[in-house]
Amino acid sequence: MTSYRPARVGELIQAELATLLTRGLKDPRLEMSTVSYVDVTPDLRHARVYISRLGSEAEQDAMLQGFQRAAGFIRGQLGRRLKLRYIPQLTFELDTGIAYGVRISSMLNKLMATSATEESDAEVTDA
């Protein structure tokens, strides 16, 4: 039997983290970051939080360090806001999926632009 509780708890944590990012956390390293997904273990004791931010690798590393440093504060805030028996231990990881998608989109746009110029060059030579 599959339990949907870890997924629901993950969604609750994600929503509360989004609120904390906009209102509760003052660290400038965490600005412009997004919580893309929260994966909670079946026993609800551990949560892996995937965060992303567009920018340089140094900015992303600084953001990750900021989240790791604020993990205790964030967990305490979640404890006050969520009605759970246990607040999961939080582990923050960089989500590279968004950056990967942006890179693929850029490559496709470049490929389409190259294809369009080749087609227009072929039409000019045929005329």
Q: What is the pLDDT of residues 70-120, one digit of tens each?
A: 999 999 999 999 888 889 999 999 987 776 777 888 888 888 888 777 766
Residue 54: alpha-carbon gap to chain centroid? 10
Q: What are phi and psi of 41, to 5 degrees?
A: -70, 155
Per-residue pLDDT for 67 more than 80? yes
Q: How does the average pLDDT of the chain come out, rounded?
A: 86
Task: For residue 34, give the 3-state DSSP assignment.
Answer: strand
Instruction: Provide the residue ranges of all domains of the chain, joining segments of one domain with +.
Output: 5-95, 96-127
The class level of CATH for 5-95 reads: alpha beta
Alpha helices (H) along 1-127: 5-23, 57-69, 71-81, 97-126
Give Rg (Cα) of the chain: 21
Q: Tell me the pTM.
A: 0.74
